Amino acid sequence: MSRIDLENQALDWLVELHSGRVEAGRRREFIQWRAQSPEHESAARSAEALWGALPATRVARRHRLLRPRRLAVVAAAACVAALAVAAALPTPVAGIYADYATRTGERRLVELADGSRVWLNSASALSVDFSASRRSLRLYGGEALFEVAKDAQRPFVVHAGDGEVTAVGTRFDVDSRGPGVQVAVTEGVVRVEAGGKPAVRLAAGERLAYQAAPGPVQPLDLDSASAWQRGKLIFNQRPLGEVLAELERYLPGRILLTDEALRRHKVSGVFDLDDPDALLQTLQRLQPVRVTRLPWLVVVRPVSS
């Protein structure tokens, strides 16, 4: 049996033992299980360290005298599940107004009436409002790649956050996940306006971010810019913390990194979005980390822990 299988068994034991419904005999069986070999004992210790690293279980232990023991499991599961369900669904506004939306891990191609095409990334929402003089779209959340059909008489305008991106015929990406909005152009030219500031012209191979106003224009890595649309994620010397935040968009639940020093560790690699399990296997193969999957939670920790 592999180390990962043993650790998963040990975690199953801990969930049962902290459920508040376990019989004394099961505790003796767990002691016997961990005594089977040094590998079993090591897996049990790793699982106990992981259990102690979960914020909800630490809170539960501080209140042990006041609440039932099963609070540890209930609190941890409820906390993670609530966050996961919230992350998996579009925002309430998007649910009301969006014409198109995707859930966590879903990507979708939308063919618009004018011949334009839109690729919606995971957990994204978009509304479309076309008229005889204007093509107006609103990205409520998430990310979308736009391939715009030429129509000089009807500007193609994407509203996201506190700004807008205007194009006539081009290919560009708008990402509104963070506190600001990221715009990246892979073909043609767009105009970016935000905060009442002068518009900024953005050409192919360029990107910028805006919030209250457009930020500086920066070069764009064309190979990785729209890789998600092809079912890939490409990272080149990106901090592990940023990589995990990106991977979390495509997995149900949350990702917990137990070691802050690892957050700055540089990551390079190609990840396949169509195989969520392979995402984690690739991460574990390329980096000095150990990955453990629980319902609605992925725990990433150093290999030495």
pLDDT at res. 44: 84
pLDDT band (50, 70, 90) for residue 2: low
pLDDT at res. 19: 58
Q: Tell me if 225 is assigned to some domain.
A: no
Last residue of a domain, one of 42, 60, 88: 88
Query: Averaged over 98-116, what is the pLDDT?
Result: 93
Q: Tell me if 11 is assigned to some domain.
A: yes
Query: Averaged over 280-298, what is the pLDDT?
Result: 84
- What is the average pLDDT score of the chain? 81
Last residue of a domain, one of 88, 105, 124: 88
Residue of higher predicted confidence among 68 and 178? 178
pTM of the entire predicted model: 0.69
User: Does the structure show a pLDDT above 70 at 286?
Assistant: yes
User: Does the structure show a pLDDT above 50 at 55?
Assistant: no
Model confidence over 117-159: pLDDT tens digits?
A: 999 999 999 999 999 999 999 999 899 999 999 998 999 999 9
Q: Please write down the HEC assignment for all residues of the chain.
A: CCHHHHHHHHHHHHHHHCCCCCCHHHHHHHHHHHCCCHHHHHHHHHHHHHHHHCHHHHHHHHCCCCCCCCHHHHHHHHHHHHHHHHHHCCCHHHHHHCCEECCCCCCEEEECCCCCEEEECCCCEEEEEECCCCEEEEEEECEEEEECCCCCCCCEEEEECCEEEEECCCEEEEECCCCCEEEEEEECEEEEEECCCCCEEEECCEEEEECCCECCCEECCHHHHCHHHHCEEEEEEEEHHHHHHHHHCCCCCEEEECCHHHHHCEEEEEEECCCHHHHHHHHHHHCCEEEEEECCEEEEEECCC
Are 120 and 205 members of one domain?
yes
Are 44 and 9 members of one domain?
yes
User: Does the structure show a pLDDT above 50 at 89?
Assistant: no
Q: Which residue range forms the structural domain that includes residue 284?
A: 231-302
pLDDT band (50, 70, 90) for residue 101: very high
pLDDT at res. 164: 97
Query: Averaged over 105-128, what is the pLDDT?
Result: 95
Model confidence over 218-274: pLDDT tens digits?
A: 999 887 888 898 888 888 889 999 999 888 888 888 898 888 888 899 988 888 888
Q: Considering its fold, how many domains does the chain have in total?
A: 3
pLDDT band (50, 70, 90) for residue 48: confident
Domain of 263: which CATH number? Answer: 3.55.50.30
Are 174 and 64 members of one domain?
no
